[in-house]
Structure 1
């Protein structure tokens, strides 16, 4: 079964599994090691009941190169424990997708949870990414990143949320 999240208000929903990824709790990070200034705490629910969760770090930056600034928020899936936690969820979804495809499906759900926002007054972009080094290290080298420098970031999913100006 393929996992396919569709945006809903304050969540992303996979019809086949009946699982929703709720808009995450977003906190400033106080971690001492590199990884990001934001902590994301996601909850996965089926029929209103929690069935799983994920936590990870990320960053924010503003791109002012266009005539309207865009705030970009990253969700960093690079740490090996995050990748392993995501892959352990395959049975929860009943997924038989290849691991990298499943990872991309979940990444799309993580950013799609933000897509239904209607109260933002600035343009927002959410990006789920991982380093090529971490993907290869976790055996996800079936993607075409052979020979890419270790520091290269691979964008797994992204969503743009236009400003809603009243």
Structure 2
């Protein structure tokens, strides 16, 4: 692999195409996208992974959100090109984004995803945190970037302003 880097403005449409390929163009109708509207992503945590030839292998984007008065990161989408799946690129993206988020002083991250997959990165079901409907509550997962970061954090996830 050529390497991991912050997403640059010129990467935008290629990353969008990867997300469309991975999740279908209707992905923007998902409730998590309502939390992203009008909010800039956390640029230092939006990452791309390219091979030696410069071909995009994977990408992740991250947005700030709120749960009550608590700030959190909403991870996703995260995608690996279908021809590169099974090579550990998704795990590399997840580990790197979480490490960078902690280094930037963020306390907590959440995502909507599959608990068995994301559990290996420290994500657990958040019973008292609700994403906008119709999100399946069993898929709302959180990761404490600092010990106890989710203690007492409850309520609806809302857009950062």
Q: What is the TM-score when the length of structure 1 is the normalising length?
A: 0.38
Larger helix percent = 2
Larger Rg: 1
Q: What is the TM-score when the length of structure 2 is the normalising length?
A: 0.39
Larger strand percent = 1
